[in-house]
Amino acid sequence: MNEKINKTENVDKTESVLSPDSLVVQKTSEQVRQDALSESEEMIASLDQDSKIMINDIENRSKISNLPINEEDKAALSQSDDDVTIAKNKLITEIEAATNGNENNLEINDNHNNEEAESLQQERYNNLIGRVLSLYNLIETNELDSESYTEIENLITKEVDSNIVWKNIDEIDLDVVEKLVDTVFDIINEPSQPGQIKEDNNKVINIDTVESEATNERESIITRIRMLEKRKKIIKELKVTDIQLELRIEYLKNKIADFGERREKEIDVPLITEAREHLSQVLDDRGLMTMSKTEYEEFFGSTDFGIHSDLKQQNVGDCYAVAAIHAMRCSPNFELLVRTSMKKNKDGTWDVKIPLLDKNGQTVNITPEELLPQRNEKFLQKKGKYSVDLRPKLRPAAGKEGFLVLEAAYIKLKFGEVDRLAAEGGQGEEFLKQLGGDSFKTYNIISSRFNNEGEFETPGLKTLSGEDGYLLDYFLENFDPETHMATVNTKFFNEKNVVASIIKKLGFYREDGSSNFFVPGHAYSLSCVDKINKTVTVNNPWNTTKKIEIPFDIFKNTFSDIRAIRIDNTKLLNSASEILSQAA
């Protein structure tokens, strides 16, 4: 490198200029001037065009998706406009200065190192964004096994998205994100294409070396080159904004489309009730009902007078499962699901096909003994630091037989036997997803997380802001028991402070403004959302007959996570058709 620069010093009436391909080439002053001028003009043109395309594209996409551009996006768009104008004016001034030979008037930033570090950071960020986008494509096109898919999905939704999509460039810890992306590439066995950064590093070092040894004449050329770099940076920033907006809009659009929109009914309720009966009849006619209406009412109870179920969690810590069963029971689809997938045999055993109404479902057989209380293997054993397990027997949920069978079938499928101890602790959507399979799509809104010290914390849904806050409000406004089922988790209190330890000992807490007490770290079923009065109705699995109606703000304050699913009826009906054609 130094050798090359020294050689150029001996060339008369020539100048040195850096190019991306080779560091030093020989050109005449006039050529350099002409090149700089034409390159600048091209950049103005491309800058303007890029920005226009970006703005039009975003506006079009937001129109298509019916998604209003939020304030942040509007600000970004407006900022982009300003950036274009500023960049344009600046470039014109610079070109004029260059043309008039007033290179000395150009503003040279004293803090070159910082600027180049920023540029490097920008390059890394661009590279990273590119890799994340290609990652999404790879995941779409690769046929992954479900374990890898779940692992990647978790990494992307929980880590990559939260570390890139919602952050400004200066807030992003690139090391963390790069590591995450590498991990995902490893999972899908794709090369992660590092190397761009190394090249960029070399380039920066080369510029520094040139600068330190250049003559005044060369220095003015380097200044001009740096000027070009700045222009490139502006262009790149605009492109990054475009990618960020694209990702954010895509994310929201997909989430909202997945969840669906609740609309007020224009058809009278009696006609809708009648239609649901006809829909059941359609499936009955197709020979898909394994349980008669009479049996259904015997094993699950009637839904007359709006009583969904008398279901009570007992001394097993599977609140999530009982809450999920109750959430399912609140759905008008519950009857269809269980009548097509559950059957009581003459010997008193049950056959449950899981996922429900899935042609590839696995049949789980439940014996009457498996519905009885079972001996607790850990009776009188130490439980935590200061307590002892005082439960001689582990009792199933109390309620109609059908619910007990669902609870037992889930445990048996997951753990190989009805081991109630093993089933303690879990998430409601896990239960729903297992029972619903591909016909259920998960839709979670979660505020709980690990903090910087690695501790688990549940700050509550009220702390969600930006897009997550928007999605939460959208969820509440559009929650429809006809298509959605959800469990919600209360906040968890660790024992680090006095209030938390008191709450933990008491076993319940009450948020400011609420007249209801809630159990910390506990799952509830979400049975109803009244968007007009802005209230949410939840049920404690300890006694599902008791409704707890709370306003939105208390709900957001009290609960930390929503674990929801949406039913894909097309998949359900397609499964039904396939089962029928197989039977024929």
Q: 203 or 566, CB closer to another protein?
A: 566
Q: 244 or 439, CB closer to another protein?
A: 439
Q: Least separation, in Å, of the C-beta of 571 and another protein?
A: 6
Q: Least separation, in Å, of the C-beta of 334 and another protein?
A: 11
From the list 14, 230, 13, the residue with the least C-alpha distance to 106 is 230
Q: 262 or 326, CB closer to another protein?
A: 262
Q: Is residue 519 a contact partner of residue 323, using CB atoms and an 8 Å limit?
A: no
Q: Is residue 189 a contact partner of residue 68, using CB atoms and an 8 Å limit?
A: no
Q: List binders of another protein among 65-94 (CB under 8 A).
A: 66
Q: Least separation, in Å, of the C-beta of 194 and another protein?
A: 39
Q: List binders of another protein among 564-583 (CB under 8 A).
A: 566-573
Q: Which residues contact 287 (CB under 8 A, 6 or more apart)?
A: 580, 583
Q: Least separation, in Å, of the C-beta of 272 and another protein?
A: 6
Q: 270 or 454, CB closer to another protein?
A: 270
Q: List binders of another protein among 250-309 (CB under 8 A).
A: 260, 263, 265-268, 270-272, 274-276, 278-279, 281-282, 285-286
Q: Least separation, in Å, of the C-beta of 66 and another protein?
A: 8
- The contacts found for 62-70 with CB under 8 angstroms, 24 or more apart, are 62/249, 65/249, 65/252, 65/253, 65/256, 65/257, 67/249, 67/252, 67/253, 67/256, 69/249, 70/467, 70/470
Q: 163 or 483, CB closer to another protein?
A: 483
- The contacts found for 152-155 with CB under 8 angstroms, 24 or more apart, are 152/184, 152/187, 152/188, 155/180, 155/183, 155/184
From the list 245, 239, 240, 233, the residue with the least C-alpha distance to 120 is 233
Task: Compose the 460-489 pattern: x for residues touching another protein by CB under 8 A, - for all others.
Answer: ----------------------xx------
Task: Compose the 510-549 pattern: x for residues touching another protein by CB under 8 A, - for all others.
Answer: ----------------------------------------
Q: Which residues contact 581 (CB under 8 A, 6 or more apart)?
A: none
Q: Least separation, in Å, of the C-beta of 433 and another protein?
A: 15
Q: List binders of another protein among 321-360 (CB under 8 A).
A: 332-333
Q: Least separation, in Å, of the C-beta of 338 and another protein?
A: 15
| Helix (H) / strand (E) containing 25 | strand 25-27
Q: Least separation, in Å, of the C-beta of 429 and another protein?
A: 17
Q: Is residue 402 a contact partner of residue 342, using CB atoms and an 8 Å limit?
A: yes
Tokens of 379: 């009776």
Please count the residues of the chain.
584
The DSSP output letter for 566 is E
Q: 320 or 479, CB closer to another protein?
A: 479
Give the three-class secondary structure for 536: strand
Burial 208-223 (b: 16+ CB within 10 A, else e): eebeeebeeebebbbb
182 binds another protein (CB under 8 A): no
Q: Least separation, in Å, of the C-beta of 128 and another protein?
A: 33
Tokens of 309: 């179920």
Residues touching another protein: how many (CB under 8 A)? 31
Helices (H), 376-415: 401-415
Q: 296 or 524, CB closer to another protein?
A: 296
Q: 278 or 382, CB closer to another protein?
A: 278
Tokens of 74: 């509007």
Q: 324 or 572, CB closer to another protein?
A: 572
From the list 109, 130, 124, the residue with the least C-alpha distance to 200 is 124
The DSSP output letter for 310 is -
Q: 396 or 481, CB closer to another protein?
A: 481
Q: 13 or 263, CB closer to another protein?
A: 263
Q: Least separation, in Å, of the C-beta of 270 and another protein?
A: 4
Choose the stretch contacting another protein; rule: CB under 8 A; options: 17-25, 26-34, 198-206, 561-569: 561-569
What does the binding site for another protein look like in residue numbers (CB under 8 A)?
Answer: 66, 260, 263, 265-268, 270-272, 274-276, 278-279, 281-282, 285-286, 332-333, 482-483, 566-573
